[in-house]
Amino acid sequence: MSYSEKVIDHYENPRNVGVFDKDDKSVGTGMVGAPACGDVMRLQIKVNEQGIIEDARFKTYGCGSAIASSSLLTEWVKGKTLDEARAIKNTDIAEELALPPVKIHCSVLAEDAIKAAIEDFKAKSGLVV
């Protein structure tokens, strides 16, 4: 299978790889997927007092498209509010990366990951989900 240039770029130069301290109060952590399916994404967001996502980190076990989807997402959520980040659709990710039909599920997982991270942050900070 030949990958789109953007997927290759994110794979060769992934943005925001790493870990935040998940016990930090300003951090929301979302872990989705399962090893049995061949895809596991951990997405973390650091939210400031104004409710803006100031930073994000990810680690992914999965194919090139999965890595690219999560990497792209960490780029997109920076500077967004929680609601804006929540509104990101998997179709946007799939379009940006030119994912073929058989890889769309990677973008779906990335959407699930950011939602999970946001839920986690909100639960920790006692906000209404």
For another protein, the closer CB: 41 or 47: 41
Residue 67 makes contact with another protein by CB under 8 A: yes
Chosen residue from 13, 23, 35, 128 binding another protein by CB under 8 A: 35
Three-state secondary structure readout of 84-107? HHHCCCHHHHHHHHCCCHHHHHHH
Residue 1 makes CB contacts below 8 A (sequence gap 6+) with 100
Q: For this structure, is 37 an active site residue?
A: yes
Q: Which stretch binds another protein (CB under 8 A): 60-68, 75-83, 93-101, 121-129?
A: 60-68
Q: The tokens of 99 are what?
A: 């994912």
As measured in angstroms, the least distance from the Cβ of 81 to another protein is 24
Q: Which stretch binds another protein (CB under 8 A): 20-28, 55-63, 73-81, 120-128?
A: 55-63
The string over 32-46, giving b where at least 16 C-beta atoms fall within 10 Å of a residue's C-beta and e elsewhere, is bbeeeeebbbbbbbb
3-state secondary structure of 59: strand
Q: Which stretch binds another protein (CB under 8 A): 46-54, 78-86, 109-117, 121-129?
A: 109-117
Of the residues 8, 19, 37, 87, which is catalytic? 37
